[in-house]
């Protein structure tokens, strides 16, 4: 076989594994986006404020807007915001409606042991590093010009996909717990009605 034939055979051999490699990489990236959406939902929804504006309309606000936050920032908020270690003090919440009068802040927080908190923090930090490596360094770390290099990269992606899926399952469980807790709280306590009552009390005291 001449040199041209060898190169053609090599290209033919690379084509199917590269196609599978691209499919798995795309799958991992989509999984990561799904995970980020779940974590952003937890970060945004575990703490909410209620206030009445000047027109009497109930205004809701979350602690912060996480749409443009990095995964590391979001994870940092979930670990330490939604989750807290035993004995940790709840951080002061800034008044996000300083001109609206009374503000009611409602927060759902899960307390875990110090060991559980440390393990969770380390595990999620490692996962964020895994995400950053996949997104920013994958091509530099693997030789995709050879079949052996592609196979090694594919194995990494398959393992990574499994890890991401495990984290997605965990985040879904957390979010479901948050949703159920807030639903139960809403059944026994109406924050909007309470804010309305506070607002009426303020008006009465100012009269």
Q: Is residue 9 part of a domain?
A: no
Q: Tokens in use for 12?
A: 């033919």
Q: Which pLDDT score is estimated for 90?
A: 56
Q: Is residue 12 part of a domain?
A: no
Q: Is residue 7 part of a domain?
A: no
pLDDT at 184 over 80: no
Tell me if 161 sits within 8 A of 31, measured CB to CB: yes
How confident is the model over 90-144, as pLDDT tens digits?
554 444 444 555 566 667 788 899 999 999 999 999 999 999 999 999 999 999 9
Count of domains forming the chain = 1
Q: Is residue 2 part of a domain?
A: no
Q: Tokens in use for 33?
A: 């986006």
pLDDT at 87 over 50: yes
Q: What is the value of pTM for the model shown?
A: 0.77
Q: Which pLDDT score is estimated for 6?
A: 40
Q: Which pLDDT score is estimated for 86?
A: 82
Domain containing 127 equals 18-206
Q: How far apart are CA 96 and CA 64, in angstroms?
A: 9
Q: Is residue 6 part of a domain?
A: no
Q: Is residue 70 part of a domain?
A: yes
Q: How far apart are CA 60 and CA 50, in angstroms?
A: 5
How confident is the model over 32-60, as pLDDT tens digits?
999 999 999 999 888 776 655 555 555 55
Rg of the chain over all Cα atoms, to the nearest angstrom: 25
Q: Which pLDDT score is estimated for 195?
A: 55
Strand partners of residue 58:
52
Residue 197: which pLDDT band, with cuts at 50, 70 and 90?
A: low
């Amino acid at each position: 076989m001449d040199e041209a034939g060898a190169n053609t055979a090599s290209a033919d051999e690379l084509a199917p594994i590269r196609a599978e490699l691209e499919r798995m990489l795309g799958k991992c990236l989509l999984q990561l986006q799904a995970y980020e959406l779940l974590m952003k939902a937890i970060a945004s929804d575990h703490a909410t404020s209620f206030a009445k504006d000047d027109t009497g309309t109930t205004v809701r606000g979350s602690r912060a807007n996480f749409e443009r936050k990095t995964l590391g920032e979001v994870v940092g908020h979930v670990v330490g915001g939604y989750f807290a270690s035993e004995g940790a003090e709840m951080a002061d919440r800034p008044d996000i409606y300083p001109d609206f009068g009374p503000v009611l802040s409602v927060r759902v927080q899960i307390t875990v042991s110090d060991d559980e908190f440390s393990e969770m923090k380390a595990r999620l930090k490692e996962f964020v590093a895994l995400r950053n490596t996949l997104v920013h360094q994958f091509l530099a770390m693997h030789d995709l010009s050879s079949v052996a290099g592609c196979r090694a990269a594919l194995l990494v992606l398959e393992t990574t996909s499994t890890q991401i899926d495990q984290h997605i399952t965990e985040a879904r469980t957390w979010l479901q717990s948050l949703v159920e807790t807030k639903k139960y709280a809403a059944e026994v306590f109406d924050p909007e009605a309470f804010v309305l009552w506070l607002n009426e009390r303020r008006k009465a005291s100012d009269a």
